[in-house]
Each structure stands twice: as structure tokens, then as C-alpha cells.
């Protein structure tokens, strides 16, 4: 009986085992191909994102169409703002599927958690008609001390002037230097690595 069992499980012409092995190998091969395809798709997505990021870094952000900005009830020219600060996080807000005021509040709240140099500030570009209406929505949600700068853009000129920059990058916010060059994409408080990169960049400005 032992010899018979040995022949059954080792001979190549065993028709009871062959279909099982064939189906198993076919399924294993199919899964392998499927995994490779998924990996290639993922890599292509990452590569596209990296490609867009690298292309954007050091590109000029166009916002010279802005003449006047405001900090609460105080107004100043864009030229004055640029003279005071070497670095700006430009945060674009647009009312759409999601209300835009929670993002405004989040930036104020989160920036309190990190140390900010004196030559850095934030400029909110808000696609809307009236500043008072926007702030009314903000205060209905949560009180915010408006210590950063805002400008209203009712006609969407900011997006139009920067249409060569991917929309997702504009909506992620950008850090620009005194020459209007984009040095970083994303909020400086979003994680530890971004905060570290932020400090490395802004440390090159004036103290």
C-alpha cells in the first residue's frame, strides 16, 4: 500500500491531481499579473503627482492683480505687505461642495501650535463677494481673531492667472518667497516633516 501511495502522488500521469495543480497555478499566475497591474497603476499615479510637484516648485505665483489686502478692519497695499514679509502662505478658499470657512478657522487654530517667524504670514484669497458676509459665516461657526490677511476675489482672477498650476496644488496652499516663487506645497502644520521643511525654508529669510 505504501508503494501504491507513492506512485499516486509522484507520477506525472496522475489525472486526479493534475486538474487541481493546473487550476491552482492558473489562479496564482492571474493574481500575480493583477498585482503587477495594480502596482504599475499606483506608481503612475505617484509619478504624476511627483512630476507636478517638481514642476511647480520655484514657479512664480501670480497674484499681482491684488492691489489691497485687509487684516480685520485694517487695509494695506500688496506692496506694503510684501515689504513687511519675506514668506507668505497663500491659501485659496472657494465656496463649493464644502463650506470654505472651516478651512479658514483651521489655519488660524493650527498655526497657534507652531512657532512662526516675524517675516512670515498668511494671505487668504477668498473667491467671494463681500468680506463682511464671509466673516459673518466664520463667526457663526467659531470666533476667530483675524490676525492674518485676506483679499476677496469675486471674479476668480486668481485661478485664471495661475491656470498653469494644477488646481489641487492651489487648493493645498503654497508657500512663496519674496520673489513670488513657490517653495513648498501644503500647510506647514500638517505633519512633522512639513513643519521641519517649513522651518528650513523660512530660516533663509530675515530674522
- For residues 183 and 177, the answer to whether their CB atoms sit within 8 Å is yes
Using a 10 angstrom Cβ sphere, with 0-12 exposed, 13-18 middle and 19 or more buried, the burial of residue 145 is exposed
pLDDT for the residue numbered 98: 65
The one-digit pLDDT tens for each residue of the chain (207 residues) are 444 444 444 444 444 445 544 555 555 445 555 454 455 445 555 578 888 988 999 999 998 778 899 998 899 999 999 999 999 999 999 876 566 888 999 999 999 999 999 999 999 999 988 899 889 889 988 888 888 999 999 988 999 999 999 999 999 999 999 999 999 999 999 999 999 999 999 998 654
Per domain, the residue ranges of the chain are 2-56, 68-202
pTM across the whole model: 0.75
Tell me the CATH number for domain 68-202: 3.40.30.10
Using a 10 angstrom Cβ sphere, with 0-12 exposed, 13-18 middle and 19 or more buried, the burial of residue 135 is middle
Nearest to 119 by CA among 81, 151, 146: 81
User: 41 φ, ψ to 5°?
Assistant: -65, -45
pLDDT for the residue numbered 128: 86
Using a 10 angstrom Cβ sphere, with 0-12 exposed, 13-18 middle and 19 or more buried, the burial of residue 33 is exposed
- For residues 138 and 144, the answer to whether their CB atoms sit within 8 Å is yes
pLDDT for the residue numbered 19: 53
Cα-based distances in Å from 105 to 29, 95, 124, 141: 52, 14, 11, 9
Amino acid at each position: 500500500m505504501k508503494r501504491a501511495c507513492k506512485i499516486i502522488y509522484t507520477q506525472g500521469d496522475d489525472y486526479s491531481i493534475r486538474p487541481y495543480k493546473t487550476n491552482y497555478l492558473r489562479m496564482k499566475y492571474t493574481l500575480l499579473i493583477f498585482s503587477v497591474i495594480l502596482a504599475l497603476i499606483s506608481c503612475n499615479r505617484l509619478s504624476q503627482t511627483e512630476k507636478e510637484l517638481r514642476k511647480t516648485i520655484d514657479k512664480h505665483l501670480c497674484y499681482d492683480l491684488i492691489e489691497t489686502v485687509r487684516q480685520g478692519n485694517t487695509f494695506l497695499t500688496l506692496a506694503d505687505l510684501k515689504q513687511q514679509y519675506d514668506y507668505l502662505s497663500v491659501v485659496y478658499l472657494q465656496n463649493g461642495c464644502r463650506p470654505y470657512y472651516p478651512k479658514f478657522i483651521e489655519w488660524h487654530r493650527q498655526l497657534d501650535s507652531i512657532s512662526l517667524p516675524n517675516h512670515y504670514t498668511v494671505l487668504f484669497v477668498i473667491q467671494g463677494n463681500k468680506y463682511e458676509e464671509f466673516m459673518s459665516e466664520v463667526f457663526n461657526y467659531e470666533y476667530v481673531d483675524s490676525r492674518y490677511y485676506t483679499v476677496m476675489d469675486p471674479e476668480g482672477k486668481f485661478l485664471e492667472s495661475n491656470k498653469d498650476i494644477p488646481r489641487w496644488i492651489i487648493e493645498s496652499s503654497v508657500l512663496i518667497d519674496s520673489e513670488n516663487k513657490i517653495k513648498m506645497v501644503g500647510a506647514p502644520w500638517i505633519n512633522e516633516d512639513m513643519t521641519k521643511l517649513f522651518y528650513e525654508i523660512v530660516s533663509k529669510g530675515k530674522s
